Amino acid sequence: MLLLLAAAEILAGTPACQSLRLQETTAGSQTYELEEGVHLVFGRDASLDTATDYGQRVLLYVAERGVFKRVYYSAGSKDSAAMTPTFIGHCGRHETLIFVDVGAEYSWGFRVFAYDERKLRDLGEIPIAVPGDPDAQSAIPFVKLIPNGETIDLTFTTDVIKDAGGKLPQSLPAHDIRYQIGAISVQAK
C-alpha cells in the first residue's frame, strides 16, 4: 500500500489527516473491511459494464442479516489495469477518504472517494501524476492535505504532470497546483 504524506498540524480544531493501513481481507483479494459488516472491493464486474461505462470499479458491500449486499458501485475506470487504494482517516469532515490510483503502464492520476456513515461517494478524479523513470508514477505519496473548515486543500510536495495519459500532458511546478475536496466533489483551484 502506498503511504500518504499527511498534514501534521491541526487547524481550527479540525483533526489532521491520518494515513490508515487497511489490510486486504484475503491477500490479493482487493477487498478491505472498512468497519464490521462493511467491505470495499476494487475490481471488475462485467455485468455492470456498458459501451461507455466499463472497467475496474469500487464496490461497497454491507452485511444485512449476515449476508453481504452490494449497496454502491462507482463508474468504471475504463482501460485502467488496476485500482490501487490509499486510505486517509479523520480528514476534515470525512471519516475516511480513499485515493485510488488508476492507470496502466503508467499512472493517469487518481480518483477520490469519501466514506461516511456507511455510504461511499465518488468525489471526482484528479488527473495528476509525477515524473518517473521511465513513465509517470502515482502522485498520491506526494499529496499534502490541509483541512480548512468544510473543505480540504490538496497540494503536492513535488512538481507534477497534468493529464499524463492525455493528448496534451503538461508539466507543472507543485506550487501551481491546488485542489479542494468538499462534501460532494473535488475541484481544481
User: Model's pTM, two decimal places?
Assistant: 0.88
What per-residue confidence (pLDDT) applies to 15? 55
Q: Is residue 6 situated within a structural domain?
A: no
Average of per-residue pLDDT across 8-17: 48
What per-residue confidence (pLDDT) applies to 171? 95
- Is 85's pLDDT higher than 80? yes
C-alpha cell at 145: 492535505
Using CA atoms, how far apart are residues 16 and 85, in angstroms rounded to an integer?
Answer: 20
Q: Is residue 13 situated within a structural domain?
A: no
Mean pLDDT of the chain: 89
The C-alpha angle 166, 3, 177, rounded to 5 degrees, equals 40
C-alpha torsion 151→183→174→169, nearest 10: -160
Q: Is residue 49 situated within a structural domain?
A: yes
Number of independent structural domains in the chain: 1
What per-residue confidence (pLDDT) applies to 14? 47
The larger pLDDT score, comparing residue 102 to residue 29, is at 102
What residues make up the domain containing 175? Answer: 18-188
Going 118 to 24 to 163 to 129, the CA torsion angle's sign is positive
Q: Is residue 184 situated within a structural domain?
A: yes
Write the DSSP symbol of residue 16. P
Q: Is residue 7 situated within a structural domain?
A: no
Q: Is residue 37 situated within a structural domain?
A: yes
Using CA atoms, how far apart are residues 126 and 164, in angstroms rounded to an integer?
Answer: 11
Q: Is residue 171 situated within a structural domain?
A: yes
Using CA atoms, how far apart are residues 111 and 127, in angstroms rounded to an integer?
Answer: 8
Using CA atoms, how far apart are residues 115 and 97, in angstroms rounded to an integer?
Answer: 6
- Is 162's pLDDT higher than 60? yes
Would you place residue 27 in the very low, low, confident or very high pLDDT band (cuts 50, 70, 90)? confident
- Is 9's pLDDT higher than 90? no
Q: In the sheet where 67-73 sits, what is the strand order? A: 31-35, 38-43, 57-64, 67-73
pLDDT in tens, 97-149: 999 999 999 999 999 999 999 999 999 999 999 999 889 999 999 999 999 88
What per-residue confidence (pLDDT) applies to 88? 96
Would you place residue 188 in the very low, low, confident or very high pLDDT band (cuts 50, 70, 90)? confident
C-alpha cell at 6: 499527511
Q: Is residue 40 situated within a structural domain?
A: yes
C-alpha cell at 155: 497540494
Asked if residue 21 lies in contact with residue 13, where contact means CB atoms within 8 angstroms, the answer is: no
Write the DSSP symbol of residue 23. P
